[in-house]
Amino acid sequence: MIEGILIGIKTALSFQNLLMVMIGCFAGTIIGMLPGLGPMTAIALMIPITYGFDPATGLILMAGVYYGAVFGGSTSSILINAPGVPGTVATSFDGYPMAQQGKAGKALAVAAYSSFAGGTIAAIFLLIAAPSLSKVSLSFRSPDYFGLMILGLTAVAAFSSKGNFLKAMMMCVFGLMLASVGQDTLSDIPRFTFNTMNLSDGISFVLVVMATFAMSEALTIILKGKDPTKAAKQISLTELGSIKLDAGETKKMLKTIPRSSVLGFIVGVLPGAGATIASFLAYGMERNFVDEDEKQKFGKGSIQGLSAPETANNAACSGAFVPLLTLGIPGSGTTAVMLGALLGFGIQPGPRLYETNPEIFWSVIMSMYIGMVVLLILNLPLIPYIARILAVPRTFLIPMILFFSVTGIYLMSFNNFDIFLMIGIAVVATILRLYDFPMPPLILAFVLGGLMEENLRRSLLISDGSWAFLWNRPLTLTIMITILLIVIWQIYDSLKSNRR
């Protein structure tokens, strides 16, 4: 392990990779700050660029963008009460009231310190947990992987979009359908290509991510342009106040950070839970821990009310890497995008990544620490300047997003069929978004589609067509029972609320 850590430090501290972390954090902060654009969009826009680098550098750049975007999302939550991502909604509960009281600088500092601490503590947990889990997961077989992938999809559908389980499951199936287009990997038989050569290689992952996130988000912003509930209430973006914290405030944060980090990391590891649930749980938990005086301040500008969700959402981001790096199964939409990018590099994350590509495994973990430091020392002093980006008019912002999306796809294939396909998918995604059909399950399913089919193929061939592989091994059986319980509970929940 020590050897691996040293390899990771050496790779992460190379000039090129350090530069990538900085660029990633900076670009991620800017993109994540723009309301409506979250880490998935930020990473999606970066993917075409990362293909120009080696896998370790590409992944380090994406990890930097990820952290930067989460941090940027907090900034827009605090300054204009417009969370860039669902994971920073809880941040706005106390962050925005602080900004309204003229303490925007202080709120941003609390968010930055909490993010740094949460991310760093969780990265230490990741350092300890990932190698051990990698060894355990080597005993997993195809039926277990198949079960885990269904569990991941079901959990994302159940937890990431409360009350929309069936819509999320429909999106999962839609993602799997899109992934099945093109030649079958084993027999090379064309499927759903409608006799066009343009579809014989399947639909590009970058195309689907760009269409369902970057492009459809841009179109949704324009479509909802007149919606009065979406109008951002502006506070001064130039007079943010001091960023210094006094001893009392620091002491309060020191109590909050450890418990929120542990909670955030555990929630992040669970498939489907992620930063949003982590931040809300941490907010609720912190409210129960604080004294009566502080409890009264929750929702009106409490330091602990701001620190808890910020710590937890960053810890959850690190936690989300555990299933990705050790099992090769992403637990969230964002890590699904990263998995897709890794597969594009020809790398299959999973238990063997630890042995076959230690430089990637460890350099990603090490770059997390560096990313946290960069966010703190580079972004915090620059926040008053970066925040002015929030004032960029949409008339310029939206065409730029569309331009980067189209260019990203064009540069990969030099084929305008892909551009038209992207527009088609983006328009469908925009309509679906309007009616609350969630997009992360679609992406997760699209990325997992090939792997799921492969593991189902192996399982069925080994068991000679019998579905008994689903309950023959205790581990697979446990996974399947969990899936069934989630599905039955969600359907029962829908029926119960309908009767009410």
Question: What residue ranges bind other proteins (CB under 8 A)?
Answer: 52, 163-164, 166-167, 169-170, 173-174, 176-177, 180, 184, 186-187, 189, 191-192, 219, 222-228, 393-396, 398-400, 402-403, 406-407, 410-411, 414, 416, 419-420, 423, 427, 430-432, 434-437, 452-453, 456-457, 460-461, 463-465, 491, 494-495, 497-498
| Closer CB to other proteins, 226 or 244, in the complex | 226
**Considering beta carbons, is residue 192 or 489 the nearer one to other proteins?**
192
Report the residue number, 359 or 493, with the smaller CB distance to other proteins. 493
20 versus 353: smaller Cβ distance to other proteins: 20
CB of 330 to other proteins, least distance (A): 20
CA distances from 324 to 330, 333, 350, 351 (A): 5, 11, 7, 10
Give me the least distance between CB of 142 and other proteins, in Å please: 11
Which lies closer to other proteins via its Cβ, residue 321 or residue 446?
Answer: 446
* CB neighbour class for 343 (10 Å; exposed up to 12, middle 13-18, buried from 19): middle
Shortest spacing between CB 177 and other proteins, in angstroms: 6
Closest C-alpha to 491, from 155, 152, 158:
158
Going from the C-alpha of 42 to that of each of 61, 139, 243, 369, 384, the distances in angstroms are 11, 35, 27, 20, 21
Total residue count of the chain as it appears in this document: 500
Dist. CA 134–CA 323, nearest whole Å: 9
Complex with other proteins: residue 69 or 150, whichever CB lies closer: 150
- Compute CA distances 429 → 175, 219, 415, 433, 491, whole Å: 11, 10, 22, 6, 25
Rank residues 431 and 480 by Cβ distance to other proteins and give the closer one. 431
- Tell me the two tokens of residue 269: 């590891």
Torsion of CA 18, 23, 28, 30, to 10 degrees: 140
Per the structure block, which two tokens stand in for 469?
Answer: 């592989």
User: Which ranges constitute the DSSP H helices of 435-499?
Assistant: 440-462, 469-472, 474-499
Query: What is the SS3 string spanning 293-348?
Result: HHHHHCCCCCHHHHHHHHHHHHHHHHHCHHHHHHHCCCCCHHHHHHHHHHHHCCCC
- Nearer to other proteins by C-beta: 296 or 420? 420
Closest to other proteins by CB, 334 vs 405, is 405
Under 8 Å CB-to-CB from 489, ≥6 apart: which residues?
Answer: 158
Amino acid identity for residue 366 in this structure: M
Q: How far is the CB of 203 from other proteins (least distance, A)?
A: 14
Give the residue with the Cβ less far from other proteins, 13 or 423: 423
Min dist CB 56 to other proteins, Å, is: 19
Cα–Cα distance, 60 to 74 (Å, whole number): 22
Q: How far is the CB of 40 from other proteins (least distance, A)?
A: 20
Residue 32: CB minimum distance to other proteins, A: 22
> SS3 of 201, please?
coil
In this complex, which beta carbon is closest to other proteins, that of residue 10 or of residue 224?
224
Rounded to the nearest whole angstrom, what is the least distance from the CB of residue 22 to other proteins in the complex? 18
State the nearest-atom distance from the C-beta of 402 to other proteins, in Å.
6
Q: What three-state secondary structure class fits 381?
A: helix
β-strand pairing of 182-183 with 190-191:
antiparallel
Nearest approach, Cβ of residue 464 and other proteins (Å): 6
* Buried b / exposed e along 296-328 (16+ C-beta atoms within 10 A): eebeebbbbbbbbbbbbbbbbbbbbbbbbbbbb
In angstroms, give the least distance from the CB of 448 to other proteins: 12
Distance CA 104, CA 108 (A): 6
Tell me which residue of 308, 380, 320, 377 sits closest to 122, measured CA to CA: 320
**What's the closest the beta carbon of residue 408 comes to other proteins, in angstroms?**
11
The DSSP H or E segment spanning 468 is none
Amino acid (one-letter) located at 325: L
Q: Rank residues 276 and 318 by Cβ distance to other proteins and give the closer one.
A: 276
- Token pair listed for 15: 């000039």
In Å, how far from its chain's centre is CA 356?
Answer: 25
